[in-house]
Amino acid sequence: MFGQKLKELRSSKNRTQQQLADYLGISRAAYSHFENSRNDPDRETIVKLADYFNVSTDYLLGRENREYQNPESKSQTVAAHIDEDVSEEEMEDILNYIEFIRQKHKKE
């Protein structure tokens, strides 16, 4: 189950096994073994993967069926796509707007 979820997440982000291996600091073959369920990653690697894909470790491990984004990860994801000159106040406005849009779509 872990390997399948990992492969689905990687594919959904249009990433290669080599890109993930580089991010984790391992060989492509070692990463491939995770996706093919030949080897299990250690705790630190699971956490890194969850952070990379912005999902919970429980989601990766098959303990819950839905992806999860915690507030810190959400702001980090937004921050990664915004110019460094954005103030704290502007960042808060952006996050509030994102939440507004999500709530609007839930009501529809």
Tell me what the mean pLDDT of segment 25-31 comes to.
95
90 or 21, higher pLDDT: 21
Whether this prediction's pTM lies above 0.85 is answered by no
The whole-angstrom separation of Cα 55 and Cα 74 is 10
The whole-angstrom separation of Cα 99 and Cα 56 is 19
Q: Are the C-beta atoms of 31 and 24 separated by less than 8 Å?
A: yes
pLDDT beyond 60 at 93: yes
The whole-angstrom separation of Cα 7 and Cα 79 is 26
Q: What is the pLDDT of residue 42?
A: 92
Tell me what the mean pLDDT of segment 79-86 comes to.
59
